[in-house]
Amino acid sequence: MTTYADVNLPSTPESQAAALEARDIVVTFRGRGGGGQARAVDGVDLRLGHGEIVALVGESGCGKTTLARTLLGLERPAEGTVLVDGEPLDYSSRALKAYRRRVQLVLQDPTGALNPRHTVYEAVAEGLRIHGLTDNENERVAEALSLAGLRPPERFFLRYPHELSGGQRQRVVIAGALVLKPDVIVADEPVSSLDASVRGEILALLLRLRDELGLSLLVVTHDLGLAWNIADRVAVMYLGRIVEQGPTEELLAAPKHPYTRALLSVVPEMGRVEQVVLAGEPPDPTRIPAGCRFHPRCPVVASGEAATLGILDQCTGKVLPLLPPTGAHSAACYLEPSADSLT
Amino acid sequence: MALLEFDDVSVTYRSRGADIPAVRGVTLSVNAGESLGLAGESGCGKTTLTSTVLRMQPKSAKVTGEIRLNGDNILDMTWGQVRALRWAEASIVFQGAMHALNPVQKIGDQLSEPILLHSKVSKKDADRRVGELLEMVGLPARRAEAYPHQLSGGQKQRVMIAMALACGPQLIIADEPTTALDVMVQAQVLNVLQGLVKELNVGMVFISHDLSVLSSTCDRIAVMYAGKIIEQGPAADVFDHPQHPYAGALAGAFPRIGDTRYRYSPSGLPGDPPFPGDLPSGCTFHPRCPVAVDRCSTTEPHLVKHASHETACLLVGSEIA
């Protein structure tokens, strides 16, 4: 059995299979009350390399959680493929069970994720029992707890969630994911319900898990500061599509897409840039606008700049191609000279 | 005279036969047209402190000091006077709008309830006022006909703000009004609140653990730790140049995007806040403080004016015992 100590994978070059990859994924839900079909994820390519931290950023309702659930095998895509180490994900229940040992989910609210009547030990050991790993249970739980920063682990075995602080609870949830020695962790808003002082501690823990164990991490968040803190790459999602992706430094220092620029301008600590507050919320995925799906809210269209540049017809009428999942910083926007030639 | 003044306010909860000090001697004031940010971790006493303004603290709590709204001490008021003051003079925007609205009642009916209770107006006038309130927070007046589940999180939070404004209060207390909202919606709600303070000349107390939100919304910030104010000053100064190590840790928790010091280096504060029933000696922050010296564990610091800030730290400014 390999232990974490001997795994130290460098980030994979693009030619190698990614830890987890989405290829042209579409996920649809039936609309309520005879409404149209909702295309929650509407054609997404996304790649998570070995030992890489990718932040998937977007507003509530943009489809980022649905995409994450699809990568975990919790939703089946209507079109497209999820690739795990280059192999298509097998949806037979036996294969899914094995898959879920390798890819673990950490949720936003640790208080809701933990059973209030289970001790820390039971919460962490539950995954082991489900997967029939009954040997050395005590040691495995202790190892996972100390990896998650709860030391000495024995002191926490018999504690109940209500006896722990918010940060400690999130550490227990992370320990529950680590106990199965996964390759990939998908974290959905891992710090948004935590106190400011705890936030940095949990982010430092996630970063350490990548550095020490070679874990790959997909963080779903609306928090661009979090991306700046820990992510290698950022993918910005709007209404079911990735609209901009690239290395964190480039994307956050010089965002190309007007949507990313707007998101960045409203981060409170960016007080010195002029705010672009978009009215309303992301439109309904049952009625995706024609052309660039962002055009009804786009400040470049609203200001008349798009018309001046002669791209307005494209913005409102011509569908943009998908962005490549890796490589150089790119945006799906007609302001970009390369947008027409994207494949 | 300030709109709201806390004068040496302490709140003690009685629990299992012991006295638990939740707020310990806080002096603060808010003027009309001014917004004060109150920052601190869960359990630092910020919600307890502000709940005393409307006398909403539980029966077991003992409050000392003076809380004056327009010069009148709230602690001396009769129950009837306190009831008249709620909504009409001071109101609260609660955290978690999704749980605070009644799911089976239309938005408009919920908004008109305090109006009908507090002022002698007809149902028709109240409905007109509801329309005005919704427009004030950037929602169309016809949304009065909607049920809460038909609104998004940000819209519900704006309804909560409209409700707090229903009877034209002079003071609004906003308790984590944007927690759980995402950045774009948060920006919309913050702009609404900021606009109201200036246009209606109301005073606002804005509670949050997020110093970056407070620095972009408020005029002044006060940081609380273990029931005490440990730093206060102009908002931008406290966020950009915090003097107390705890205020520094809170400010550092939210990275400046583009600043390479924060890249791959999230900063947090180890440890947990102390239990109010068992506070450390000396400066209550010393067990978690990265720069504590010996006397921090024996000498309790008091707020001392230093440049534009007031800071309670033995290592800052002129307080050398």
A and B: number of Cβ contacts within 8 A = 126
The pairs formed by B301-307 with CB atoms below 8 angstroms and a separation of 24 or more are: B303/B229, B303/B230, B303/B232, B306/B243, B307/B237
Place of tokens 């955290």: B95
Report the candidate in B166, B79, B53 with the shortest Cα–Cα distance to residue B114: B166
Residue B317: predicted pLDDT: 65
CB A238, CB A58: distance < 8 Å:
yes
Burial label, A217 (beta-carbon count in 10 A; 0-12, 13-18, 19+): buried
CB-based contact B183 A230, cutoff 8 Å = no
A6 — pLDDT class (breaks 50, 70, 90)? very low
Residue B178: predicted pLDDT: 83
In this complex, the residue of A60, A200, A223 whose CB is nearest that of residue B268 is A200
Q: Which of A107-111, A143-147, B43-47 has the highest mean pLDDT?
A: A143-147
Collapsing DSSP to helix, strand or coil, A270 comes out as helix
In this complex, the residue of B41, B216, B263 whose CB is nearest that of residue A271 is B216
Residue A339: predicted pLDDT: 56
Parallel, antiparallel or unpaired: strands A103-106 and A330-331: unpaired
Q: Is A11 or B96 the better-scoring residue by pLDDT?
A: B96
Give the ipTM of the model, two decimals please: 0.84
In this complex, the residue of B183, B257, B268 whose CB is nearest that of residue A198 is B268
pLDDT at A3 over 50: no
Percentages of chain B per state (helix, strand, coil), in multiples of 5:
35, 25, 40
Number of domains within chain A:
1
B110 — pLDDT class (breaks 50, 70, 90)? very high
Residue B321: predicted pLDDT: 37
Report the candidate in B73, B20, B23 with the shortest Cα–Cα distance to residue B222: B23
Residue A1: predicted pLDDT: 41
pLDDT above 70: percentage of residues in chain B: 98
Report CA-CA distances (Å) from B215 to A269, B177, B305. Answer: 8, 15, 20
- Minimal Cα distance from A192: which residue of B? B180
pLDDT at A343 over 50: no
CA–CA gap between residue A46 and residue A245 (Å, rounded)? 9
Residue B117: predicted pLDDT: 87
CA–CA gap between residue A42 and residue A177 (Å, rounded)? 29
Residue A11: predicted pLDDT: 47
Q: Is B17 or A162 the better-scoring residue by pLDDT?
A: A162
pLDDT above 90: percentage of residues in chain A: 69
H/E element, B18: strand B18-30
| pLDDT, averaged across chain B | 90
CATH, domain range B4-89+169-311:
3.40.50.300
Residue B319: predicted pLDDT: 44
pLDDT at A7 over 60: no
| pLDDT, averaged across chain A | 88
CA B210 to chain A, closest CA, distance in angstroms equals 6
- Minimal Cα distance from B255: which residue of A? A225
Residue A338: predicted pLDDT: 63
Residues spanned by the domain of A317: 255-341
Instruction: Say if A78 is an interface residue toward chain B (CB within 8 Å).
Output: no
Residue B153: predicted pLDDT: 79
B181 — pLDDT class (breaks 50, 70, 90)? confident
Query: Which residues in chain B are closer than 8 Å to A204, comparing Cβ atoms?
Result: 266-268
Q: Is B68 or A270 the better-scoring residue by pLDDT?
A: B68
Instruction: Say if A221 is an interface residue toward chain B (CB within 8 Å).
Output: no
pTM of the model: 0.87
pLDDT in tens, B189-211: 888 889 889 998 999 999 998 89
Q: What is the DSSP code (8-state) at residue A324? A: P
Query: Which residues in chain B are closer than 8 Å to A61, comparing Cβ atoms?
Result: 152
Instruction: Say if A199 is an interface residue toward chain B (CB within 8 Å).
Output: yes
- A183 occurs within a structural domain: no
pLDDT in tens, B170-180: 999 999 888 77
CB-based contact B255 A249, cutoff 8 Å = no
State the amino acid at position B274 in one-letter form: P
CB A30, CB A43: distance < 8 Å:
no
pLDDT at B105 over 80: yes
Q: Is B155 or B286 the better-scoring residue by pLDDT?
A: B286
Report the candidate in A194, A151, A144, A189 with the shortest Cα–Cα distance to residue A169: A194
CB-based contact B41 A271, cutoff 8 Å = no
Q: What are the tokens at A269?
A: 């600590």
Residue A2: predicted pLDDT: 42
CA B248 to chain A, closest CA, distance in angstroms equals 10
- Three-state SS string over A121-184 comes to HHHHHHHHHHCCCCCCHHHHHHHHHHHCCCCCHHHHCCCCHHHCCHHHHHHHHHHHHHCCCCCE
Q: Is B319 or B158 the better-scoring residue by pLDDT?
A: B158
Over residues A229-255, the mean pLDDT reads: 95
B109 — pLDDT class (breaks 50, 70, 90)? very high
Over residues A235-250, the mean pLDDT reads: 95
The pairs formed by A161-166 with CB atoms below 8 angstroms and a separation of 24 or more are: A161/A110, A161/A111, A161/A114, A161/A115, A161/A116, A161/A118, A161/A120, A161/A123, A162/A116, A164/A120, A165/A198, A165/B272, A166/A110, A166/A111, A166/A193, A166/A194, A166/A195, A166/A198, A166/B42
Query: Which residues in chain B are closer than 8 Å to A32, comparing Cβ atoms?
Result: none
Instruction: Say if A217 is an interface residue toward chain B (CB within 8 Å).
Output: no
Over residues B212-236, the mean pLDDT reads: 94
Residue A105: predicted pLDDT: 92
B233 — pLDDT class (breaks 50, 70, 90)? very high
Q: What is the DSSP code (8-state) at residue B86? A: B
pLDDT at A50 over 80: yes
Q: What are the tokens at A292?
A: 């660039």
Burial label, A178 (beta-carbon count in 10 A; 0-12, 13-18, 19+): buried
Over residues B283-302, the mean pLDDT reads: 94
A118 — pLDDT class (breaks 50, 70, 90)? very high
A96 — pLDDT class (breaks 50, 70, 90)? very high
Residues 6+ apart with CB under 8 A from B11: B21, B22, B23, B45, B48, B49, B52, B57, B61, B62, B63
Report the candidate in B38, B92, B50 with the shortest Cα–Cα distance to residue B220: B38
In this complex, the residue of B42, B236, B268 whose CB is nearest that of residue A199 is B268
pLDDT at B68 over 60: yes
Residues 6+ apart with CB under 8 A from A70: A22, A25, A27, A41, A76, A77, A82
Report CA-CA distances (Å) from A241 to A39, A58, A153, A331. Answer: 10, 10, 42, 11
Residue B275: predicted pLDDT: 87
